[in-house]
Copies of this chain bind each other. A is one copy, B any other.
Amino acid sequence: MISSDHPFDQAILLVPAESGTYSGHTSEHYWNAISPFGGTTVATLLQAMLQHPHRLGDPLSMTVNFAGPIRQGEFTVQATVARSGRSTQHWQMEIRQAGDEQPVVTGTAVFAVRRDTWSDTEATLPDAAPPTALARYEPPTKVPFLQMYDMRYADCDPLAGGADSTTQCWISDVPPRRLDFPSIAAYCDSFVPRLFVRKGGARPISTVTLSINFHVDSAALAQQHGRHAFGKARANAFNGGYYDQEGQLWAEDGTLLATTHQLVWFRE
């Protein structure tokens, strides 16, 4: 089990129970307005698979569906291998809480053993000032989890309002922490909501479903020494009470770490 005293590692800490079942506890540090920060929920599911004795290779892709409200306290994670091949492995996941008959979170994931092939990255790191040259953003909303991330916006004010929802910023943990699959997964849900960007301020929103495609394996990740990731995100459309978000996440050296997509419920 990978663990440390960092509050993020404590937030995603899982205690194995029976086969493929783990128990976890929501974190005060990563609490959002009325439920846990979704990024820690995604990272916790990933952690369940990473520490599963039957795991094959590294995470390739995952989808997490926020089906119902997660209450403060204990929860149970179930991670089941649906099918395992020579080089890919398919997972089904659920999070449940006592007193709730239905899962609060569902998901699927694919793990894989990568191999040497031709490689190329079309999505290159945008030209931006380094994190040391930018100021840490002070979010006007004082929910706990926002204190756990250092965001440094490059060439944009995330709450200026306007016709384009694109933002780009350096993201790192507070206190600093190495980049690993769980932290990358959490970063993928850390972008300021696109509706806030368009409207110039906070509105009621809730992520319904989130997918991540990982573009590195653990060997490539181990070579990363920077503690900052660069995130760029945008929306395609807002309508009928829902909008989407597409994001890209790079390491400081320009390695594309992950791309992510989510669909979000909103109220004006």
Which residues of A approach B to under 8 Å, CB–CB? 60-61, 63, 65, 67-68, 82-83, 85, 87-88, 90, 92, 94, 102-104, 106-108, 110, 112, 114-123, 163-165, 198, 208-209, 211, 213, 215-217, 234-242, 244, 246, 248, 256, 259, 261, 263, 265-268
Contact = CB atoms under 8 A, between A and B. Distances in A.
A259 B211 CA distance: 13
A237 B107 contact: no
A interface SS class: strand
Nearest to A82: B106
A256 B240 contact: no
Contacts of A112: 208, 241-242, 265
Q: Choose among A116, A234, A238 the residue with the greatest number of B CB atoms under 10 Å from its CB.
A: A238
Nearest to A116: B240
A265 B213 contact: no
Contact of A120 (B82, B106, B238): B238
A83 B108 contact: no
For the complex of A and B, 9 pairs with smallest distance between CB atoms: A114-B240, A119-B239, A123-B236, A63-B63, A67-B83, A67-B90, A83-B102, A121-B237, A215-B237
Contacts of A102: 82-83
